[in-house]
Amino acid sequence: HVTSFFAPSGRQGTPEELKMMIDTAHSMGIIVLMDMVHAHASSNILDGIAQMDGTQHCYMHGGSKGHHAEWDSSIFDYLKYEVLRFLLSNVRWWIEEYGFDGYRFDGITSMLYRSHGIGKGFSGGYNDYFGPDADTDSHIYLMLANDLIHTILPSAISIGEDVSGMPTLCRPVEEGGFGFDYRLAMAIPDMFIKLLKNCSDDHWNVEDIVHTLTNRRWKEKVVAYTESHDQAIVGDKTLAFWLMDAEMYNGMSLINRPSASHQVERGLSLHKMVRLLVLGLGGEAYLNFMGNEFGHPEWIDFPREGNNWSYHHCRRRFDLPDDENLRYKFFEAFDELMQACENRFQWLSSDHQYVTLKHNHDKVVAFERGDLLFVFNFHPHAGFGDYQIGMSWNEPMRC
């Protein structure tokens, strides 16, 4: 929960050190986005802006309307001019003062609906989105924010974290859209974790997987990813740990285990296949989340009462793929090749996407993306020779 909207955390160093980091990233061709939290604010009245004038109505709604029950935080009143001036100046501040290249707007599903999306299902029909539950005050704020971002920095990137699939979220403001460049495809990591929790990999339904990967609105770009903070931070297992479990503690060593166990070998293979499948079919951008690129084995857990204020899991082991004696290097090497392949063929920016085959019995998925044909065999033991797959190109293929 945010208490100070205009000051960086001390974890990023001094303000000047943060600016230096961003400048250094720019010199290396790296775009830097900030996680922008305007969906709510901390209810801490001592350190934050809640009840800044002694009442509940300064920047927030009063009463139950101004309290987010699941987050225990305060909700902005986006109809007030001073709230708009405060938040829009905040948007401008980080771009102009620190040089950020854009934002990932956190938790905007909560902003889009008066119910905050709590307990609400979304079928994709327009009546789910534009009925009386629609919070038009926050809709207008998001349109203003994105219009401002792209006015002061036309090259800026704006990403909305929305699980509902709100129509026009990623269409320009001048078309009546919200103005975001991308939406986070949150259903994809949720799907894979549900599969790993509830179903052995030899029973995966590839038709359902393909549906989730392609279930996005036409001409509205999304960021695809295989796991997120829901798996990597709040005490759950990472994707790699779900695949290999306790075998990761000893089985990743090339010294202690020169020959990988069946569980580690299969986990390595499936982890690679899942990442390439998501990069190939999941969206128009791809996100590696905090060590996913090398199969980080454990979650992140910040010091809290529930873990006796331990710092043991309050870190990421970015040294693991650098150790030549550990199998994590194979995860990262594959990720580098996968990204290099996309850089060469640039299928993420291609409009051509066609799923040729999703055969649930054979566990085979085939699709065209850009100038490439992708073929995946998820069957646990069967290989196929002379497998016939239709394609739109009447020319020889290179493997």
Query: Which residues are designated catalytic?
Result: 106, 161
Helix (H, G, I), strand (E, B) or coil at 82: helix
Helix ranges, the chain (H) = 15-27, 81-98, 108-112, 136-152, 187-198, 206-214, 229-232, 239-244, 247-251, 262-281, 328-345
What 3-state class would DSSP assign to 297? coil
Q: Rounded to a whole number, what is the largest CA-CA distance in the chain?
A: 75
End-to-end Cα distance, the chain:
49
Quick one: which of 202, 224, 212, 205 has its CA closest to 358? 205
Please, what is the angle between helix 262-281 and helix 206-214, to 10°? Answer: 40
The span from the CA of 40 to the CA of 99, in Å, is 24
Q: In this structure, what DSSP letter does residue 174 have?
A: G
d(CA 41, CA 37): 8
Q: Is residue 253 a contact partner of residue 260, using CB atoms and an 8 Å limit?
A: no
Q: How many CB atoms lie within 10 A of CB 395?
A: 6
In the structure encoding, which two tokens stand for residue 188, read together? 């994809």
- Whether the CB-CB separation of 284 and 182 falls below 8 Å is answered with yes
**From the CA atom positions of the chain, what is the Rg in Å?**
23
CA distances from 126 to 3, 6, 319, 383 (A): 36, 37, 47, 43
